[in-house]
Amino acid sequence: MKNGKLSWKKIKSWNLLLPVVALLLVMAVNIIYDIANGNNPLAFFTITLQQTTGNGTILYGRIIDILNRGSEAAILAIGMTLVVSSSAGTDISVGSVMSLCASFCCMLLAGYGVSSTSTLAVPLAVGVLGGILMGVVCGMFNGTLVAYFKIQPMVATLILFSAARAIGLLLCNDLIVYVRNGSYAFFGGFIGLLPTPLVITAICAVIITLLLKKTALGMFIQSVGINPKASRIAGLNSKRIIFLTYVLCGLFAGIAGIVASSRITSADSNNIGLYLEMDAILAVALGGNSLGGGKFSLAGSIIGAYTIQAITTTLYALGVSAAQAPVFKAVIVVIIVAIQSEPVRNYFKKASLAKKAKEVA
């Protein structure tokens, strides 16, 4: 009994408990739906090998599709987590920055004024690195406004939220630029059996985790987010740390933009990254992270991003149209976030303490 109680205490104190439970609940809905329709109850978890004309033999299944389609939001969630932790604010420009980075990359690869090409105007590495560098520049712009000019994060990032897509259209000469080249399509395709976007997400997560764990950067970010004045007195350069998190957020937005553009082998400035900034912010919240800054969990944010994609996929499987899906998704997300909120947690803690008091009495 004692071991059981200790195990339950460890489970309850696990910081990823609620994100994982939320994801399992979404999976449970799929299982119930399949059973109700006479399908295999494990259809949601079924992964098979499928032969394709363009990518050869690949893994196929609902889970693979969720991991593939949710990769852009997961990449954005990594950068958003760092921004929220350090500045207690959100970067609402990441979706538009994605679009700008994709447009700049495709413009470099195709050449200015060219609407469609299969021959690259510059080496692939130049175009891809150019797109990512554009994201870094956008992050530096946002970081300067927030860290050094003390502008509220939402107001500061509202500038690129409004302007980045328009700048992308100007770079593409008001065209949708198509880069019909297999080497560029690779970033949105498959590497072996696995989707390339999933591999890129894993690489981003591993690198940033090692950076935060092997250096003091993770502790510095959390310290600044908890109390920037005390951190400054302790010798930390709070402004520089906040600036760095916005630069990293821009970097990941650039990577996500390359992945999104590569999927469709084109730069569609009006639609790439549309509303993804909201999914990234919700992923941070669903991951159990406080939007007030301070301690953070990258793993929780990534799970939150895939939970949101799982909700979207589930709604489509239930027959909900693309126009109606955001309404249902919003309701589900509100419920999940409410369950993870501090007042609800405090309520259950009080109820648990009251139950123990009665047992002792």
Confidence of residue 107 (pLDDT cuts 50, 70, 90): very high
Q: How many CB atoms lie within 10 A of CB 241?
A: 23
In a domain, 55, yes or no: no
Residue 74, domain CATH: 1.10.3470
Residue 336 is predicted with a pLDDT of 67
Determine the residue type at 221: I
* 55-85: b (≥16 Cβ within 10 Å) or e: beebbbbbbbebbbbbbbbbbbbbbbbbbbb
Distances (CA, A) of 175 to 115, 124, 151, 179, 355: 6, 21, 34, 12, 65
Q: Is the pLDDT of residue 359 over 80?
A: no
Residue 133 in any domain: the answer is yes
DSSP string covering 297-350 = -HHHHHHHHHHHHHHHHHHHHTT--TTTHHHHHHHHHHHHHHHHSHHHHHHHHH
pTM above 0.75, yes or no: yes
Domain for residue 354, yes or no? no
- 250 half-sphere exposure, CB direction, 13 A CA radius: 27
pLDDT range class, residue 92, cuts 50, 70, 90: very high
Closest by alpha carbon to 265, among 124, 97, 68, 60? Answer: 124
Separation CA 28–CA 20 (nearest Å): 12
Query: Within a domain: residue 10?
Result: no
What is the C-alpha to C-alpha distance for residues 307 and 287, in angstroms, rounded to an integer?
9
Q: Is residue 255 part of a domain?
A: yes
- pLDDT of residue 343 exceeding 60, the answer is yes
d(CA 79, CA 296): 12
The tally of domains found in the chain comes to 1
Whole-number pLDDT of residue 8: 63
3-class DSSP state of 50: strand
Q: pLDDT category, 189, cuts 50, 70, 90?
A: very high
Judge whether 262 lies within some domain: yes
In a domain, 71, yes or no: yes
Domain housing 175: 61-349
Residue 230 placed within a domain: yes
Average pLDDT over residues 219-233: 89
